[in-house]
Amino acid sequence: MAEREQIKKPAPQREQAEVEDAPAASEQVEELKAELDDLLDEIDEVLETNAEDFVKSYIQKGGQ
Amino acid sequence: MAVPKICGIETEFGIAHTGTEDANPIAASSLLINSYLSEVERTGEGGPAAGVTWDFEDEMPGNDIRGIAPLGSLAPEIETHLVNAVLTNGARYYVDHAHPELSTPECSNALDVTRYDKAAELILRRSMEAAAQMLPPGQELVVYKNNSDGKGNSYGCHENYLMARATPFSQIVVHATAHLVTRQIFTGSGKVGSEAHGLTTEDVPFQITQRADFFEEEVGLETTLKRPIINTRDEPHADARHYRRLHVITGDANMSEVATFLKVGTTAIVLAMVEDNVLPREFRFRMPVQAMRQVSYDLSLAKPLELADGTSATALEIQWDLLDQARKYADSHGLDTVGGPVGEMVIDRWEQVLTGLEADPMTLARQLDWVAKHRLIQGLAQRHDLRRDDARLAALDLQYHDLRPERSVAARAGLESLISTDGARAAITEPPLDTRAYFRGQCLKRWASSIVAANWDSIVFDVGDEPLRRVPMMEPSRGTADHVGQLLADCDTAAELLNRLKDSGAR
């Protein structure tokens, strides 16, 4: 199955991973920050208009 | 020796009936599920097996793994009068505790569980659409895949894992507790505020998990009150001489496929290591219940947890240790009991996620629910200059879990996917190939009119001229496509199947 095929390569040792990942991590975070504004625009559109009523009326019976 | 970690997820969903003053959650849940069942019957798409009900014969949720239930324990009640359907993918779809609940079929690995969990979301979505056709204009049933209403009421997303009866329960308690408390750093779905007694949004503006606020005991039988970290319900749904089935009730329902995959995958590996007795170090918390909350409230992931031996360790350190042990275990014992290559995939992902959490959790905004949600909550608060207790933040929290595509916030959060859309769609009707769910699903698909009832470990047939016949399925790893595929293909009718089974003795 395709989903299972990409997993064969041995994982890097932990120490190596940390060194290599460090610059990639900050890039990733910058990229995520850059797209956050668009995402928030979209969320402002779909968010329930009366947040107060919406939150207040969401009452569930306790379950397991 | 470790037994195959056959596993599944049971999710109780939140439900809201909008546009009416007299909403009743049990009626709403029943309508939701019945609408789905009628819709699938009408369109002939397969899915539920019309007329087949759940068989409660072997249901004993009051049985305690420790043998006797301590005084004051409350055994869960079984609600036999409410809608309770078996689907052709091997799943169970029913009303439980005023919530719609869906239990995935038994799966042999974490990737399959993730696929069936995704299929469950699609089933709930179709159910909402089908219910909309039945309701007066202006009314709607809305389903949320979360675990609390923000007002102190919680409902669960449980996992279950097949385990060897021979493994001492005390060993399971020690190591599973260490894992369940510390895995929260990647399994959490995030929550605005706290529902623990005496804490406000000022004390806890945001926490990692939905569920940590609701645990009060270390070990126990309850699931709805005084919830324990280790649940002792002893219902193996299999041969009890060989098996127990660990019922894990601490987890959050995840929108992120990576979180679901890791939640189940890492737990299956830890439990296999317990069975093979390879974990050298016991992390016993001085106060396990407090440790649950401490991990959930600590977004810095830096606060050490006090251990019973006087030392301390952070959740990340304990997870790194478990991962290191898992790598050694993969070399020494192999990962066949946790899905072979899928087990390898779990270990690689586990390492990526711990590395990311250590560097900067924000790097995992596409992988982990709590990070994705926290990022959006912070972003919205900054954009509109909101106070911590502004209702818009709580609304965003709830709506993250809304299963309607047009409203879902999680669907917009850019979460990484592990399961293809086609794979998830197929899993709505097709059972897994490599557990007994295959036999259940195929029988329901082909001979639903000859089946009276079904449950995890048996199917009751009615082929007309004989008394009802129960076919037991006490071995979860049998009844697979390899095992019974040919037999099923050779039979045209249920009567023929029963004859063949009679001739061959027990299955």
Query: Which A positions 3-62 lie with beta carbon below 8 A of chain B?
Result: 3-4, 6-8, 11, 14, 17-18, 21-22, 25-26, 28-29, 32, 35-36, 39-40, 42-44, 46-48, 51-52, 54-62
Q: What pLDDT score was predicted for residue A2? A: 43
Contact present, B239 and B398 (Cβ < 8 Å): no
Residue in this structure with the two tokens 């329902």, named with its chain if needed: B253
pTM for the predicted model, two decimal places: 0.93
H or E segment and range at residue B437: helix B437-447
Q: What pLDDT score was predicted for residue A26? A: 83
ipTM score of complex? 0.91
The reply to whether residue A60 touches residue B399, judged by beta carbons under 8 angstroms, is no
For chain A, the farthest-separated pair of C-alpha atoms sits apart, in whole angstroms, at 52
B414 CB neighbours in chain A (<8 A) are 35, 39
Q: pLDDT tens digit string along B356-413?
A: 999 999 999 999 999 999 999 999 999 999 999 999 999 999 999 999 999 999 999 9
Closest residue by Cα to residue A58 from B123, B152, B414, B293: B152
Q: pLDDT tens digit string along B80-121?
A: 678 899 999 999 999 998 999 999 999 999 999 999 999 999
In angstroms, what separates the C-alpha of B118 from chain A's closest C-alpha? 15
Reported as a pLDDT band with limits 50, 70 and 90, residue B72 is very low
User: Domains of chain A: which residue ranges?
Assistant: 26-50
Contact present, B376 and B368 (Cβ < 8 Å): no
Instruction: For residues B456 and B235, give the distance between their C-alpha atoms in angstroms, rounded to a whole number.
Output: 11
Q: What pLDDT score was predicted for residue B211? A: 97
Q: What number is the average pLDDT over the span B301-318?
A: 98
Closest residue by Cα to residue B488 from B475, B505, B501: B501
What DSSP line would sit under B447-488, residue for residue? HGGGEEEEETTEEEE--SSS--EEEE---TT-S-HHHHHHHH
Q: What is the CATH number of domain B7-422?
A: 3.30.590
Residue in this structure with the two tokens 């909309």, named with its chain if needed: B132
Instruction: For residues B186 and B364, give the distance between their C-alpha atoms in angstroms, rounded to a whole number.
Output: 9
Q: What pLDDT score was predicted for residue B343? A: 98
Give CA separation, B88 vs A52, B39, B40, in Å: 41, 15, 11
Q: pLDDT tens digit string along B25-34?
A: 999 999 999 9
The reply to whether residue A64 touches residue B15, judged by beta carbons under 8 angstroms, is no
For chain B, the farthest-separated pair of C-alpha atoms sits apart, in whole angstroms, at 74
Token reading at B70: 């301590």
Bridge partners of B92? B86, B103
User: Domains of chain B: which residue ranges?
Assistant: 7-422, 436-503
**What percent of the residues of chain B are helix, what percent strand, and what percent coil, each to the nearest 5?**
40, 20, 40
Q: What number is the average pLDDT over the span B68-75?
A: 48
* Three-class SS state of B227: strand
Instruction: For residues B179 and B187, give the distance between their C-alpha atoms in angstroms, rounded to a whole number.
Output: 11
Contact present, B192 and B397 (Cβ < 8 Å): yes
H or E segment and range at residue B102: strand B99-103
Q: Nearest CB to B351: which of A7, A14, A36?
A: A14
Angle at B48 between CA B43 and CA B51, to 5 degrees: 100
Instruction: For residues B361 and B368, give the distance between their C-alpha atoms in angstroms, rounded to a whole number.
Output: 9
* Three-class SS state of A24: helix
Instruction: For residues B336 and B341, give the distance between their C-alpha atoms in angstroms, rounded to a whole number.
Output: 8
Chain A residue nearest residue B20, CA to CA: A57
Residue in this structure with the two tokens 């600590």, named with its chain if needed: B298
Amino acid (one-letter) located at B26: I
Q: B385 catalytic, yes or no? A: no
Give CA separation, B40 vs A48, B127, B428, B439, in Å: 31, 10, 11, 21
Reported as a pLDDT band with limits 50, 70 and 90, residue A64 is confident
